[in-house]
Amino acid sequence: MNFADRLCAAVDRCGTPAVLGLDPRPEHLPAPWRRRPGEAGAGEIAECIRAWQMRLLELAAPRLPMVKPQAAFYERWGPPGMEALAEACARARELGMLVLLDGKRGDIGSTAAAYADAWLRGDGFPAADALTVNPYLGEDACRPFLDRARECGAGLFFLVKTSNPGAGLFQDHGEPPLAEAVACAVHRWGEELQGESGWSGAGAVIGATRPGELARFRELLPRALLLLPGFGFQGGTAEGLAPAFDARGHGAVVPASRSLLHAHEREDLAGRGWEEAFLAAVEEMVAALRTVCPLPSS
């Protein structure tokens, strides 16, 4: 089944476009799994991450349609960390969540094909439902990802206008700006991954920290699913995100990691267990997004 169609169905099931960003920082894990890098080895840290994320995913699965593991926070811990990443992907899918592997892969020719095979085929790692891709090497570097996504029914989210403060140095360069040129290419590629829902599995990353630019990118990407990172800890809010969604509440998903994963560190949630704090933060995010995304409550 086409990724865009599966994502729309998952969003409808949960009644929210909120996505769990899985960025495990061992020094911020709840007790008893918290560890400080340098005071514990990679194997011990990876084991703590594995134990914590199993329960986290059980809490998230009934409430959120997709999880977005950030590969770097697992790669840091070597082979044990990569095993933890594989377990996170497998367990999330067992629980009914879609998996968006946030690796921002991009390279030339056969190397790009190897990245696509690694994360979308399921030969070694559990297959992800979608992958973030860096398109700035050009169309030939994106072609292997598009071909594999079409074969596997997977999705792609191409970096177009990212959430970091310095993104404009290159992405705003030129006339039209480079980011807009990339958006036009993503729109063209998206015809290959069109779903019955009307949305394409070739999506785009547009920072939620850039609400003033969102309407323009929606104009350039009328059928692309948008991934809107930067909500919460990076300063993004629900305000201004309405142009990303259609009248049915489809068209975009909004990930959050630190604002959800570190909720047990909030002063206003002090005294609650980490599970209760996490669920409270999820409910806050869901409620905030409901003001701009017209989805019925699940």
Q: Residue type for 230, please?
A: G
Strand partners, 206: 161
Domains and CATH numbers, the chain: 3-290 (3.20.20.70)
The two three-digit tokens of residue 258, written as one number: 């630190």
Mean per-residue pLDDT over the chain, rounded? 95
pTM for the structure as a whole: 0.96
Q: Is the pLDDT of residue 296 over 80?
A: no
Average pLDDT for 194-202: 96
pLDDT > 90 fraction of the chain, expressed in percent and rounded: 90
Q: Say which residue, 73 or 122, is predicted with more confidence.
A: 73
Average pLDDT for 63-74: 98
Average pLDDT for 65-83: 97
What is the per-residue pLDDT across 144-162, written as a single tens digit (0 to 9) for each? 999 999 999 999 999 999 9
**Rounded CA gap, 161 and 170, in Å?**
10
Average pLDDT for 155-184: 94
Q: Say which residue, 165 or 250, is predicted with more confidence.
A: 250
pLDDT recorded at residue 265: 95
Average pLDDT for 243-248: 94
Question: Closest Cα partner for 254 from 1, 3, 7?
Answer: 7
Residues in the chain, how many?
Answer: 298
Question: Closest Cα partner for 252 from 243, 261, 260?
Answer: 243
DSSP the chain: --HHHHHHHHHHHHT--EEEEE---GGGSPTTS---BTTB-HHHHHHHHHHHHHHHHHHHTTT-SEEEEBTHHHHTTHHHHHHHHHHHHHHHHHTT-EEEEEEEE--SHHHHHHHHHHHHT-SSSPPPSEEEE--TT-HHHHHHHHHHHHHHT-EEEEEEE-SSGGGHHHHT-TTTTHHHHHHHHHHHHGGGGB-TTS-EEEEEEE-TT-HHHHHHHHHH-TTEEEE---BSTTSB-STT-GGGS-TTS-SEEEEESHHHHTGGG-GGGTTS-HHHHHHHHHHHHHHHHHTTS-PPP-
Q: Is the pLDDT of residue 88 over 70?
A: yes
**Rounded CA gap, 146 and 7, in Å?**
18
pLDDT recorded at residue 87: 97
Average pLDDT for 280-294: 95
- Kindly give the pairing relationship between strand 130-133 and strand 200-206: unpaired
Residues 25, 34, 104, 143: which is the catalytic one? 104
pLDDT > 70 fraction of the chain, expressed in percent and rounded: 99
Q: Is the pLDDT of residue 298 over 60?
A: no
Average pLDDT for 284-294: 94
Has 161 been annotated as catalytic?
A: no
pLDDT recorded at residue 6: 98
Q: Residue 79: is the preceding peptide bond cis (ω within 30°)?
A: no
pLDDT recorded at residue 297: 66
What is the per-residue pLDDT across 130-147, written as a single tens digit (0 to 9) for each? 999 999 999 999 999 999
pLDDT recorded at residue 237: 87
Average pLDDT for 200-223: 95
